[in-house]
Amino acid sequence: MRNLCIMNSRHFWFSLSLIGLSICLFGQEEINVKFYEKEISESEIRIYCDNSEFFPVSVELKLELKGLTTDHRNGDVVVLNPREDNQLLAVLSATPGRPWQYRTSAQYAVGNVLLEDFDTNFVYELPFARGSGEAVSQGYLGKMSHQNEYAIDFNMREGTPVFAMRGGLVIKVVDSNNKSCPDRSCMQFNNVITIQHEDGTYAEYAHLKQHSAGVRVGDEITAGTYLADSGRTGWTTGPHLHIAIFVPAFGKRKTIPTLFRIGDGKSDYLVERKSYYRS
């Protein structure tokens, strides 16, 4: 959560307008979103946002106003279009010639937190090469590190090729880390690739090997595209591939259970301590 306080009067407006209001929002990670305000007239101020990312960003803007009115309600969510500037968040109205001030706070989330209509029946491909098999070392709601999370760990050896489970847009690639340890302090060293799907859901592939990424942010990929090699980077006790499908949410992301193609035309949810073969 980031707070700003802007105070103004007719006398001081000119000097403040040169400074403007421009911030980057920070949460779990930096996202290139900027706020700024413009005086449209003596009685109207507008707050805009630029979104320089390849994905939509949800913003909840809260306002504390003195000497101003607005139709914007605290708690309203604006979903910013990807790679678009000058997106209007709120219009503030003032009485000409009278002083005013406002304070803002905002939270953000990757994607559209208002998303409801996503495909719960989509069948994902297994994230390893055809003709090979891997064991699930930890499944949904696992006791080790997946409590209250629909995530899957495959017991992959380091250097095993990882393939996209579903097509989409690459929105995040972290590929430079080579450190790991068995506690939270190493979370910052995780190598990860995140894919945005056409229905607004996302897939995360984590603990990848350093300098193995075969895709870049902005790439359009299909199911079966090579992404990287599995590794043991970040918060981990050993080499494995961690995957999770999630929908956008403020704060802790919301992971969801998904079906996988498991051969012979069948699909099912993956089960812990069971091996699966990709035909």
Element (DSSP H or E) covering residue 237: none
Task: Please give the pLDDT value at position 95.
Answer: 86
Element (DSSP H or E) covering residue 12: none
Token digits of residue 275: 């091996």
- Sign for the CA dihedral angle at 132, 133, 139, 144 comes to negative
Instruction: Flag whether pLDDT at 28 surpasses 80.
Output: no
Task: Please give the pLDDT value at position 23.
Answer: 33
Task: Give me the mean pLDDT over the 224-235 stretch.
Answer: 96
Task: Give me the mean pLDDT over the 133-157 stretch.
Answer: 85
* 3-state secondary structure at position 10: coil
Q: pTM to 2 decimals?
A: 0.86
Task: Give me the mean pLDDT over the 84-105 stretch.
Answer: 91
Counting residues of the chain whose pLDDT is more than 70, the rounded percentage is 87
* Residue-wise pLDDT tens digits, 174-193: 999 999 998 888 888 999 99
Pairwise pLDDT comparison (68 vs 24), residue with the higher score: 68
Q: Which of 199, 182, 207, 55 is nearest to 127 (CA)?
A: 207
Instruction: Flag whether pLDDT at 93 surpasses 90.
Output: yes
- Please list, in sequence order, all residues whose beta carbon lies within 8 angstroms of the beta carbon of residue 46, skipping any fewer than 6 positions away: 37, 38, 40, 88, 90, 91, 92
Instruction: Flag whether pLDDT at 1 surpasses 50.
Output: no
